[in-house]
Chain A
Amino acid sequence: MATETLTLGKALNTGLRKALENDPKVVIMGEDVGKLGGVFRITDGLQKDFGDQRVIDTPLAESGIIGTAVGLAIRGFRPVCEIQFDGFVYPAYDQIVSQVAKMHYRSQGKVRIPMVIRIPYGGGIGAVEHHSESPEAYFAHTAGLKVVTCANPQDAYTMIQQAIASDDPIVFLEPKRRYWEKGPVELDAPLSEAYPLHSARVARAGTDATVLAYGPMVRTCLDAATAAAEDGRELEVIDLRTLSPLDLTAAYESVKRTGRCVVVHEAPGNLGLGSEIAARITEECFYSLESPVLRVTGFDTPYPASRVEEEYLPDLDRVLDAVDRTFGW
């Protein structure tokens, strides 16, 4: 079995290539995805090899990208749309939540929109405003959409292919600050045997407290767990991977063992995913909890100027501080 070391970005590129090879109905569309290969080069080389009818450089209008992809999907194509940055998805918001999400429901199952909306999201790369946002709660709140995010190259490679193969419309969030991090990727493992798309996974086993994270924060939480282990505290880190539907099966099992839970995400805390997760864990694990479920999140501000983003973003220290507080109850 061919295992290669790839960056998360290259793993996505390789996964997209596989999807284009395997299904002639897959088309990639977005701004600058063709000759340039995307501003992050995630679609690098794909137009050269598959042509401009499979990898389509679009006019510069996000609602148009999503709206025309809806029509292509009705026609029988499987569009994979790239939104260039998180903060640019809002012009397409109406098409995503009012059209993409609801067509299957409104048509009583007769119309399917097998579409993937790729969004590089989150901060940590020193970008200007509108380039570092975490809009996942908007989409996870919308019935009819599924929302997933990858945290390592292997998941990037398999999850993008699984998302494209799925008939569900899927918002696929890519942790842009992790694009350049490397990891092993099994390239030849059949998709049918891959880890299921809408499932959380234990990223590091532990016994003392449960830390829930997704996307860019998984790396941060794993680093926190390494640091905690040096102090003799074993944290269990769960990579949620799927934000809608939420798969909290592993989280419930873990919290019932550890009695403590910290949820971590970059997005603002107010009405963020962490609120939902904390509520559900409280309902499900109430008699096992030694302390309240705590959240470590971005602040309830617009994403700040990049020179202070390190203070805005949850980091190792803030995660460890929250873990300490769960022990101090």
Chain B
Amino acid sequence: MAKGDPGVTTRGRRAAPRSKRPATAGEPELVQLLTPEGERIESAIGPDGTEYRVDFTDEEYRGLYRDLVLVRKLDAEATALQRQGELGLWASLLGQEAAQVGSGRALRTQDMAFPTYREHGVLYCRGIDPIMPLGLFRGVDQGGWDPNEFKFNMYTIVIGAQTLHATGYAMGVHMDGKTGTEDGEAVIAYFGDGATSQGDVNEAFVWASVFNAPLVFFCQNNQYAISEPLERQTRVPLYQRAGGFGFPGVRVDGNDVLASYAVTRHALDNARLGQGPSLIEAYTYRMGAHTTSDDPTRYRIASEVEAWRAKDPIARMKAFLEKQQLADADFFAAVDEQARAESVHLRERVLAMPNPEPVTMFDHVYPNGSPELDEQRAQFSKYMESFEGSAH
């Protein structure tokens, strides 16, 4: 929260000063630079006294808004495609756009990201074609981008497993001597509130700490692990866990793209300078289902959803741009039109995604191949060819 400024509660009301309200799992005390009403806060102080601020050009402010709108629209398109049977499943980011765009835009080209399966907004910020994750959810591939080229690893579905990969990668960055300077490399690991219960995440905290890995743990606390609320994962605010592992933690308003950017950039800079890991808890809310398979009306109440809708990351950015006269109606219309056109384009390309040739299931099991598998492939090909009129 801003220095000397009151914080906000989950309902968006003004709350008592931080020192008098110790944070609990359900009660945020967070770094915020843009209120739900679109008011700019000049700077905010984190729990360890760090001052967070951002200094964007008008064009950059508009760019962040455009990112938010685009990733929401593309996500909505994917949800629609799933409902129409074109995707087997979709994990929507609705509500988490600011946490993803803010952190994603804070990354530098040389930084490496390790996502879960919901980081479509970060993926977009890494310059990856937004169709890429749809192949995975459509079942035609398992994620088609090159992690090395885009510095954005494969989606990881096993909860928390990627935090260890990120830690090892960051140890490697350190061993390669790529830390300690302002143009050093940093690594970011994405995970959710549910993942903090996993052994792997806690092991990653231990490893990153004792090896001083240049790593930012970016936890999007969206309040639910499928149906299980935060209270089923923790009794203390997640960001405070960092202290027990020996590195700083901070809770940021995850619906505030400016604050999400500021805290992530700061943590990444610390990491690249050799100051080790940190934990960011982006306090946000999943507005939709965990995936298209579950029904959130079974496990949460409408009033809670409405309270969070009042804190929408896009609405507040729009209010800010309007109040500051940084954008006019033409701009907003143009962004909407761009988002519409890109989602139509995405839809057309998804519908045209071909099924893979069945024999490709044998590809890339081993870098050096395997005689057993080669034989199976040959037998399978022969079998497929045995069908009359087979194209295979």
A-side residues, CB < 8 A to B, are 27, 53, 58-59, 61, 63-64, 66-77, 79, 91, 94-95, 98-99, 103-112, 114, 143-144, 146, 166-168, 198, 244-247
Contacts and interface: CB of A to CB of B under 8 A. Distances in A.
B128 to A, nearest CB: 13
A95 B161 CA distance: 7
Interface stretch (B29-37, B89-97, B138-146, B289-297): B138-146
Contact of A67 (B148, B168, B365, B371): B168
A103 B364 CA distance: 9
B165 interface: yes
Contacts, number: 142
Q: Is the interface of B mostly helix, strand, loop or mixed?
A: helix
Contacts of A198: 370-371
B380 to A, nearest CB: 14
B378 to A, nearest CB: 15
Interface string B130-156: 000000000001111011100001101
A144 B365 contact: yes
Contact of A74 (B147, B156, B364): B147
Contact of B176 (A75, A105, A244): A75
Given A75-B176, A108-B144, A108-B364, A246 B372 contact: yes
18 contacts: A59-B206, A59-B210, A64-B207, A67-B168, A67-B200, A67-B204, A72-B168, A74-B168, A95-B161, A99-B158, A104-B367, A105-B365, A107-B154, A110-B148, A111-B154, A143-B365, A166-B367, A166-B368
Interface residues of B, number: 43
B173 A75 contact: yes
A107 B168 contact: no
Contacts of A99: 156, 158, 161, 165
Contacts of B163: 67
Given A64-B203, A99-B161, A111-B148, A104 B366 contact: yes
Q: Is the interface of A mostly helix, strand, loop or mixed?
A: mixed
B175 interface: yes
A91 B203 CA distance: 11
Given A59-B206, A108-B141, A109-B363, A67 B368 contact: no
Interface in B187-204: 199-200, 203-204
Contacts of B176: 75
Contact of A71 (B143, B168, B364, B365): B168
A263 B175 CA distance: 46
A95 B164 contact: yes
B171 A72 contact: yes
A76 to B, nearest CB: 7
Nearest to B203: A64
Contact of A70 (B144, B148, B168, B366): B168
A63 B153 contact: no
